Amino acid sequence: MRRNPPLLVTAFAVMLSTQCISSLFAQADAGAKTAAGGANRLQAEPPSGPRDGNGAFRSKQYRDLFAENGKAPAETQAKVQKAFQQLFHGDAQTERVYFEAGSNASGPLAYITDWANNDARTEGMSYGMMIAVQMNKKREFDALWNWANTYMLITDPKNPNVGYFAWSMNTDGTPRSTGPAPDGEEYYAMALLFAARQWGSGEGLYNYQAQAEKILRGMRHHPVVTETGPFRIHPEDKPFEYDDTMFQSPNKTERLQAEKDIAIELKGEGKTPPVKPARFGGAGVGRSETTGPMLEEEHAMVRFVPNVGPGFTDASYHLPAFYELFARWGPTEDREFWARAADVSRTLFFKVTGPNTGLSPDRNSFDMTPIPGWDGKPVPFSYDSWRTVSNWSVDYSWWHKDPNETVLSDRIQSFLAGQGISMFVDQYTLDGKPLSTRHSTGMLAATTVGGLAATPGRNEKAFVEELWRTPIPVGDQRYFDGMLYLMSMLHCSGEFRVIDARSTP
């Protein structure tokens, strides 16, 4: 999820005609464990085995961490169903994040809202679709996918991001950004591939396999395009110009206070507080933007944003468990790339995390070295970073290809347990200095998924028990906390699975 502005670089780029851009998307449519405090020394890979690894993809056996902790499967299922019902169909003011919004020619429309930021995001929309396909909720899945295509899909050929999905929209379908965040595209593609195997592909928008392949082709083969803002989502829209005064939310109030506190601290150190750029994307009048693929070909990594020029990546965007499936089910011409990207992501996880904490940065360079944040300090562990432990642990569960993922899960669970399992905060420097005071359910939930890779024992069991007794999120923060809570409940219960009709009993 893009929580900071893109790095906009004016660069020489190939100008492609509208016809060329349209042609590209038309074609797409057709188609040795170390100690917890040890240095980050990569363990040697075991001797080469089957390409499918030795995890759940091959065995079809998924661990139920709750059952391993003595919980009855029926009790777990009831807990998961209650969470879905509350977050998707509960009280509108305090509980749910899923809202239906009428219908159009393609069927019902619905969105997932980030209640604390008053918007709908590709992150949440794609998470909602993933939850729906895992829980066999086709109506909700289709309604979310329809809303995403109706409002978020960029169709204006004069927007250099044409073919991608705008990462943030108002819930009435008007824009709060005119550019994408790749984590949304990744989850859209994976959810659609699962849907094709869960329900079979239909026609047009609901030809799930073709829609997934369109997204994956665009991620790697989007043309390099330069245009001058302001931009639109659809050709008939008014030009979008960001106006921060239009957007009010609980999170904005908290963020502005935090920035004020940081500025006071920097002044006390004799430093000049930097001017932080606008939070939401959208080039202004006369400002050019050059956009290309979401994937960095040389490094086989996902970019933070697809703007051409010096860029960086976000460890929480790296999804090797999904990349292995893209390498099997995605466009044939890109399968080798995705297999390589899975291996690169595993190496990245180990290299960028704190050697004593297992904490990952919100962003890092393509060479896996730290980058400075807007305050001049190395980018810390923050909101996006919560998800990284879940990413490598699901990879371990499904594929079992990298023993270093066990090392990482042991490290982060040990560090956070030492901070107090019911009180650790949700932002840290990578060496473990607290940067906030809030304890967040979403971070707890994602760290509990770490048990799928961690060494079974006290810490792993303590996290499972803590998640079990944690209530379903409600109130202003129920969006990110709630989505991570529900997906983590599915992971930890063994019910978030590779859906493949050809091999599922």
Active site residues: 123, 384
DSSP letter at 274 equals P
Of the candidates 494, 496, 472, the one whose C-alpha atom is nearest the C-alpha of residue 482 is 472
Asked if 407 contacts 389 with a C-beta cutoff of 8 angstroms, the reply is no
For the chain, the distance separating the N- and C-terminal CA atoms, rounded to the nearest angstrom, is: 35
Rounded to whole angstroms, what are the CA distances from 492 to 55, 121, 301, 417, 495? 15, 25, 27, 18, 8
Please tell me the distance from the alpha carbon of residue 394 to that of residue 490, in angstroms, as a whole number: 11
Of the candidates 457, 324, 444, the one whose C-alpha atom is nearest the C-alpha of residue 395 is 324
Indicate the length of the chain as a whole number. Answer: 505
**Both structure tokens of 407:** 């090392």
Please tell me the distance from the alpha carbon of residue 177 to that of residue 282, in angstroms, as a whole number: 5
Dihedral-angle region of residue 279 (phi above 0 means left; psi in -120 to 50 means alpha; beta otherwise): alpha
DSSP letter at 151 equals I
**Both structure tokens of 441:** 């359910």
Q: What are the DSSP E strand ranges found in 105-161?
A: 107-114, 119-121
Q: In this structure, which amino acid lies at residue 444?
A: L
By the 10 Å C-beta count (0-12 exposed, 13-18 middle, 19+ buried), 12 is classed as exposed
Cis peptide bond upstream of 380, omega within 30: no
Asked if 88 contacts 124 with a C-beta cutoff of 8 angstroms, the reply is no
